[in-house]
Structures are given as structure tokens and as C-alpha cells.
Amino acid sequence: DQQVKQNSPSLSVQEGRISILNCDYTNSMFDYFLWYKKYPAEGPTFLISISSIKDKNEDGRFTVFLNKSAKHLSLHIVPSQPGDSAVYFCAASGNSGYALNFGKGTSLLVTP
Amino acid sequence: SQTIHQWPATLVQPVGSPLSLECTVEGTSNPNLYWYRQAAGRGLQLLFYSVGIGQISSEVPQNLSASRPQDRQFILSSKKLLLSDSGFYLCAHGSISYEQYFGPGTRLTVT
């Protein structure tokens, strides 16, 4: 039962433009959300997170937006760079220190 | 700083053979430890997690088992591998916060 869904398996964006990656969840008990970036043959690296008490968190070029009523979050990357090309995973948790529920990932390609 | 090691990086094993993947963490005490698997075309699936020595929680019934013989060591094992065990195995550590940090992974191919 997939509780975290990333419905776009891939996204292509031109360098310098905005990349928007979307994620939906079904479990209303989730109270913390994370984004990870993964290159091929490497482990995922933590990118940015947001608590359910917030609706926006920003870190440099990366901003995560949370819409609790819609059970939807998105990651914005502005401006996009070729080095951002990777698979991005959305994750959610309702219990600190325990399991993260991951989406299937969205492969982002940033073209020059 | 915290570092997480996994080995081997790649592994090719025949069906029916045993498996042992090791994960160790440096720079932290009493971490929560996790094993995930990424199968081809799929997301990250949590297999096991441990909050302390000798304590293992299994998320998915399967052909695999896990052990935590030391505080910063987490081992994933199988007595007899199946073709469906092929995938990218990731060890992660975390603490009381939500963030988890992943190792470099092991690519397992069962032939």
C-alpha cells in the first residue's frame, strides 16, 4: 500500500528554469516530510525537510511547500542546474526515529 | 561527523547461496539503523530497522533477516538467495530526529 506517491516518474527542465517535483500522501498521521536526492549507484542524500506545522521551508535554491488539506507537497528548485539531474524521492513519517515511507521517485533531467 | 560504511559495493551471487551484507556507522552512539531495498523501477522499501543492540523490527516478511550484534553494526543476511532478492540495498542511520542518512549501498545481482 503506497502511502507516498510521486506520480511523475520523470521531468525534464531547461537550465535556469524552475523545477517543480510533486508528492502526494494518504496517511493523515504523517507529520514530517523529507526530500532526498539520489545519483545512480549511490545512496540517497538528504536535501530538505518540512514539519507539518509549517507550509514552507526554504534552503538556498530549494523550497518545499506543504499543503496539508490536500495532502500534497512539492519541491521547487530555482534556478535549475545540470548538476541537479538525479532521482528525487519524497518521504514521510509520523513517528520520529522510525520508518520513513518513500515514494517511487522522480527522475529530473536538467538540460543545458 | 557521522559516516556510514557498507560493503561490498557490488555482489553477484547464484540462487540458493547465502548472503551477508554489513553496515557500520562512525561518529554516533546508539543510532537507529535501517535496511532498505530499491528494486528495479521501484522506490525505497524499508526491510528492517533497529533501535538498539539485538533489537530488530521487520517491515516485510521475506527471505531475509537482520542482526545487530554491536551498537554501530547492522547485518543483512539470507540463508538461500532468490532471484527476487536482486536489488540495491541501502543501510541508513538516524536518531531522535526524523532525518535518516544513507550509506553508499550494495548492488546485489542474484543469477
Q: Per-residue confidence at A92, pLDDT binned at 50, 70, 90?
A: very high
Kindly determine whether residue A89 and residue B43, on different chains, have CB atoms separated by under 8 Å.
yes
> C-alpha A97: how far from its chain's center?
19
**Residue B51 and residue A15: Cα distance in Å, rounded?**
43
Percent of chain B with pLDDT over 70: 96
- CA-nearest of A37, A34, A102 to B34 is A102
Q: Is the model's pLDDT at B80 over the cut of 70?
A: yes
Please tell me which of the candidates B98, B103, B107 has its beta carbon nearest to residue A96.
Answer: B98
In this predicted model, what pLDDT tens digit does every residue of A30-70 receive, in sequence order? 999 999 999 988 899 999 999 999 999 999 999 999 999 99
**Residue B11 and residue A9: Cα distance in Å, rounded?**
28
Helices and strands (DSSP H and E) totals, chain A: 0, 11
Sign of CA dihedral B51, B55, B61, B65: positive
Q: Residues of B with CB below 8 A from A6's CB?
A: 43
Q: Which residues contact A93 (CB under 8 A, 6 or more apart)?
A: A30, A31, A32, A33, A34, A99, A100, A101, B98
pLDDT of residue A25: 97
Whose grid coordinates read 552512539? B29
SS3 label, residue A82: helix
SS3 label, residue B85: helix
User: Does any CB of chain B come closer than 8 Å to the CB of residue A97?
Assistant: yes
Q: Per-residue confidence at B62, pLDDT binned at 50, 70, 90?
A: confident
Percent of chain A with pLDDT over 70: 97
Q: Is the model's pLDDT at B61 over the cut of 70?
A: no
Average pLDDT over residues B82-111: 91
User: Does any CB of chain B come closer than 8 Å to the CB of residue A102?
Assistant: yes
In this predicted model, what pLDDT tens digit does every residue of B21-38 receive, in sequence order? 999 999 888 899 999 999
Strand partners, A78: none
